[in-house]
Amino acid sequence: MSKRVVFDGAARAGMLKGVDILGRAVEATYGYHGPCVMVEHRTRGLAPVFTRDGVTVANAVVLKDRLAELGARMLRDVANGVARQAGDGTTTAVVLARAIARGMWKSLSAGADPLRLKQGMEGAVDWVVSDLRSRALPVVGERVAQVAEVSMRRDGAVGRLLQEAFAAVGQDGVVTVAPGFGRADRWELVEGFRYEAGVWSPYLVTDGGPLVAARVLIYHGTVTDFVDLVPILEQVREAGQALVLVCEGMEERPLRSLALNVRRGTFRALAVKAPGLGDRRRDWLDDLAVATGARVLVPELGDRLDRVRLADLGFAGKVVADADTTTLIQGGGDRAAIARRIAGLRKEAEVIRALGPGEGSPTGKRHDLDDLEARIAALGGRIATVYIGGVSEAEVKERLQRAENARRSVLAALEEGVVPGGGVGLLHARAALARLGFSDPDRQRGAAIIGTALEQPFRLLVAHAGQAPDSALARVQAAGHPHWGFDAASGEFCDLVERGVLDPLKTLRLALTQAAGVVGTVLASGVVVMGETAGLPDLGFSPEWAAATREDPRR
């Protein structure tokens, strides 16, 4: 395949064209007054996706000009990097990246050295991050709801529901969001190890109440004969307890015999399907074993049902199961062992989130991450789900996306604290740049690029609210108060911390570092080499477009 080589100014100008196109599309959603963006669905005939999520818009924009597409891809990398690590703040990251790209292009066009320019930017980013950390406020009480409501754009009571949910689950619990089935938003709490698989037979459903004081038998295989179960059933009965059998498969004859004996009152027992699918099933069974204190029995390793002892079983104080779900409450597992396993799963999840573009299948990474988060939720023992309502399916999907961003914002805020929102946190960080002692002019220019970029989120938010950015900036600077800024929801200048307009420090930190890192590396390149595609068939499929218009808008 022949190659196209583009040098210096022409390469950067072409990429900047793509940066401007994608940046303008994403920036339209910024702030309280930012409108939705409508993205055509990849399948003809299906309704378009309406979104205010920056990363979704960024992934939907694919340009025909190959050089401009490289610039657009640069911003997509920034947005996706922030989305993987923080979940929210993707639009802020794009706003910063576009401003940095324009400033860097001007300096390079004026003859600045790319390496020293990049060094100045990196030094400025470090100083700004340090300043933000020093001004961060802890997240306690009402601030949880306030952080969430900023992401929700003061829509409904989702912020209050998230605050209640996080308070209910505690440090080791998990909060999720899901589509509701009505107009109202609500939340519910589930305690214990819960997974999406139910009983093997409708005759075993615990309609009469939960199964209490249950011993848990975990079998990574298929039950073929009821006689194999009789010895352990009798041991459990003699101990005055019930048996919960968790197995990968169960043939009809032993299932029918078990159901008949349960109905007659001979045994107190329940047979449920094993959690997980495919290769992940064994991991789920190991999690369940840790949660209940059981041992996973594997036929391939010589384990036999007719030789099971009470010592092989785990314990659950209460078990509730229906056709679709199983919940084991008050498991008998060691709390320290559970905590170690949760910590290990969280490390695995962080590794996946840290993967860059092209490192593994996007679909595979998403599925692996979803599975890890589900396992962490089950092991945590307390799962709160906030159900998002709406009038139409499109409204529910759009609100659900904002609720997911709000949930991730709360997690980020709880981790590193918050700073005043509305772009003011970044705006006041410019003062830290005055302490930089760069003597080299190009490094000074790099620091100045970052200083100018820090103004852009505030300017954009004010402009979308119908105010003059220069006048608003002058009013905030004249106030001389680090928390003073513009509340776009009310249209007033006020103390943003007192008003509850807050941004998670982690979100701003990642947005700035990702924007400066990606843009600085790409635009410092002096030559672009691309493959020519003339004459190749265009099948009209883009993986980025497909991901951006998937039916589940959460990412």
Q: Are residues 327 and 349 in the same domain?
A: no
Judged against a pLDDT cut of 80, whether residue 366 lies above it is answered with no
Residue 553 within any structural domain of the chain: no
Q: Are residues 66 and 121 in the same domain?
A: yes
Backbone angles phi, psi at 467, to 5 degrees: -105, 160
Domain hosting 384: range is: 157-193+338-413
Residue 147 within any structural domain of the chain: no
What pLDDT is attached to residue 323? 80
Q: Are residues 44 and 124 in the same domain?
A: yes
The C-alpha atoms of residue 503 and residue 90 are separated, in whole angstroms, by 13
What pLDDT is attached to residue 358? 59
Token readout for 387 is 């159900």
Judged against a pLDDT cut of 80, whether residue 228 lies above it is answered with yes
Q: Are residues 210 and 284 in the same domain?
A: yes
pLDDT band at residue 282 under the 50/70/90 scheme = very high
| pLDDT top residue among 554 and 254 | 254
pLDDT band at residue 356 under the 50/70/90 scheme = low
Distant-in-sequence, close-in-space partners of 381: CB < 8 Å, separation ≥ 6: 172, 173, 191, 192, 193, 291, 331, 338
Q: Are residues 216 and 304 in the same domain?
A: yes
Q: Are residues 121 and 176 in the same domain?
A: no
Per-chain mean pLDDT for the chain = 87
Domain boundary among 300, 333, 366: 333
Residue 218 within any structural domain of the chain: yes
Nearest to 310 by CA among 222, 193, 213, 217: 217
Q: Are residues 168 and 47 in the same domain?
A: no
What pLDDT is attached to residue 205? 66
Residue 251's SS3 state is: coil
pTM value is 0.72
Q: Write the pLDDT tens digit of every residue in 480-537.
A: 898 999 999 899 999 999 999 999 999 999 999 999 999 888 888 778 888 765 544 4
Judged against a pLDDT cut of 80, whether residue 54 lies above it is answered with yes
What pLDDT is attached to residue 360? 58
pLDDT band at residue 89 under the 50/70/90 scheme = confident
Domain boundary among 282, 314, 333: 333
What pLDDT is attached to residue 543? 53
What pLDDT is attached to residue 177? 87
Q: Are residues 81 and 93 in the same domain?
A: yes
Q: Are residues 349 and 316 in the same domain?
A: no
The β-bridge partners of 211 are 319
Q: Write the pLDDT tens digit of every residue in 127-153.
A: 999 999 999 999 988 899 999 988 887
The β-bridge partners of 277 are none
The C-alpha atoms of residue 12 and residue 17 are separated, in whole angstroms, by 9
Domain boundary among 374, 394, 413: 413
Q: Are residues 57 and 112 in the same domain?
A: yes
Output the domain CATH number for residue 260: 3.50.7.10
Q: What is the mean pLDDT of residues 240-266?
A: 91
Output the domain CATH number for residue 397: 3.30.260
Residue 152 within any structural domain of the chain: no
Q: What is the DSSP letter of 46?
A: S
Give how many domains the chain has, as a whole number.
3
Q: What is the mean pLDDT of residues 260-286?
A: 90
What pLDDT is attached to residue 431? 86
Q: Write the pLDDT tens digit of every residue in 154-206.
A: 776 889 999 999 998 876 677 888 888 888 999 988 778 888 888 898 777 65
What is the percent of the chain where pLDDT is above 90?
50
Residue 291 within any structural domain of the chain: yes
Residue 554 within any structural domain of the chain: no
Alpha-carbon distance values, 288 to 248, 312, 336 (Å): 13, 13, 15
Residue 423 within any structural domain of the chain: yes
What is the percent of the chain where pLDDT is above 70?
92
Output the domain CATH number for residue 463: 1.10.560.10
Q: Are residues 229 and 300 in the same domain?
A: yes
Q: Write the pLDDT tens digit of every residue in 311-339.
A: 999 999 888 888 888 888 888 899 899 99
Residue 555 within any structural domain of the chain: no
Judged against a pLDDT cut of 90, whether residue 369 lies above it is answered with no
The C-alpha atoms of residue 145 and residue 488 are separated, in whole angstroms, by 18
What pLDDT is attached to residue 81? 87
Q: Are residues 323 and 352 in the same domain?
A: no
